[in-house]
């Protein structure tokens, strides 16, 4: 069985037009797909539809009715349930449609979403991605896909058009488990490195000396990833800090549901939640480093009389 082609008039509904969803729509439009856009804040859908010369829909259900494949790129569990279950949600209009959930949510939510979609006659796949706006626009995402293999076949052209690599990882919820695991590790390391920087700053040791030490050890890769974005304050917003907090919350909730304690991750979560409460919402998640560096500087100044 051959894969469907763009020329076969594959119609794609893009639900959720935040930074990633909007970029996804731009990429798919550039590849020739027939798009229908939906966003909870309708003005975004109207504006982007005019920019791309595509349709927009006033509800998830109307979007689904005009599409073969539905991509969902929303921020959290609540937003996903809203897309599925609101009075004009897709569960009333998803029969014979394929749903690609690209949102990062808890394991229990993706499993429930699968059941809801399939009970309504639709097909559900997970397709979380690694990468940011630039990777979407350039088609260089790493995409994980989980679900029934016969359903995966029908969406592979779409996934390949946005990805440098697509990995099939088995049934739902395997893709979401891996997505949460990898994000947890990244955010955990970021929180730990932020505290490392603050500690060195607190005791008045030049940060450059820390970098020289790290460059001679296996931790060099950590410094290479985070140094510029935390110390030199040149970070653009690739991934918002509040979304890092949400990812860690999803990890903690999903682990605890299965009886696994998450003492270390809960500490990292608390740090990112502190960042949200301290005015860093909307900034890149690596700015947790700036927050703690500033704190280290202030504490050192307070201790200037008696250093130790």
Q: What pLDDT, in 10s, does the model give residues 243-302?
A: 999 999 999 999 999 999 999 999 999 999 999 999 999 999 999 999 999 999 999 999
* CATH number for the domain harbouring residue 43: 3.40.50.720
Domain that holds residue 110: 6-171
Nearest CA-CA partner of 268 in 200, 193, 176: 193
Asked if omega into 173 is within 30° of 0 (cis), the reply is: yes
Provide the number of structural domains found in the chain. 2
Q: Are residues 147 and 185 in the same domain?
A: no
The pTM (predicted TM-score) of the whole model is 0.93
pLDDT in tens, 227-255: 999 998 766 899 999 999 999 999 999 99
Tell me how far apart the alpha carbons of residues 75 and 77 are, in angstroms, rounded to a whole number: 7
Question: What 8-state DSSP symbol labels residue 278?
Answer: I
Of 147, 171, 195, the one marking the end of a domain is 171
- State the burial class of residue 209 (Cβ atoms within 10 Å of its Cβ: 0-12, 13-18, 19+): exposed
C-alpha distances in Å from residue 98, one per residue of 42, 136, 147: 23, 21, 11
- State the burial class of residue 36 (Cβ atoms within 10 Å of its Cβ: 0-12, 13-18, 19+): buried
* CA dihedral sign of residues 149, 150, 155, 156: positive
Q: Are residues 162 and 16 in the same domain?
A: yes
Where do the H-state alpha helices sit in the chain?
Answer: 19-30, 42-52, 60-65, 77-85, 107-119, 133-138, 149-162, 174-202, 207-214, 220-231, 241-257, 263-275, 288-302
């Amino acid at each position: 069985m051959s894969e469907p082609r763009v020329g076969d008039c594959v119609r794609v509904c893009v639900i959720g037009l935040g930074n990633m969803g909007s970029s996804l729509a731009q990429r798919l439009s550039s590849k020739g797909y027939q798009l229908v856009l939906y966003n909870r804040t309708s003005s975004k859908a109207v504006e982007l539809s005019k920019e791309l010369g595509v349709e927009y829909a006033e509800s998830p259900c109307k979007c689904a009715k005009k599409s073969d494949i539905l991509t969902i790129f929303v921020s959290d569990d609540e937003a996903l349930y809203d897309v599925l279950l609101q009075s004009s949600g897709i569960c009333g209009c998803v029969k014979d449609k394929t749903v690609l959930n690209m949102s990062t949510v808890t394991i229990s939510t993706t499993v429930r979403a699968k059941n809801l979609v399939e009970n309504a006659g639709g097909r559900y796949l997970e397709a979380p991605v690694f990468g940011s706006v630039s990777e979407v626009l350039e088609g260089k995402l790493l995409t994980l896909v989980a679900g029934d293999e016969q359903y995966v076949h029908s969406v592979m052209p779409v996934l390949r058009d946005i990805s440098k690599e697509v990995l099939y990882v088995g049934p739902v919820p395997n893709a979401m488990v891996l997505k949460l695991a990898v994000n947890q590790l990244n955010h955990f390391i970021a929180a730990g490195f932020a505290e490392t920087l603050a500690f060195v700053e607190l005791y008045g040791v030049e940060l450059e000396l820390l970098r020289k030490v790290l460059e001679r050890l296996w931790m060099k890769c950590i410094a290479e990833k985070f140094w510029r974005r935390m110390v030199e304050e040149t970070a653009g917003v690739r991934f918002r800090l509040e979304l890092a907090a949400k990812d860690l919350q999803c990890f903690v909730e999903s682990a605890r549901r299965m009886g696994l304690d998450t003492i270390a991750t809960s500490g990292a979560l608390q740090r990112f939640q502190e960042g949200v409460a301290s005015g860093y919402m909307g900034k890149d998640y690596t700015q947790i480093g700036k927050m703690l560096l500033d704190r280290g500087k202030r504490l050192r100044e307070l201790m200037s009389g008696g250093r130790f």
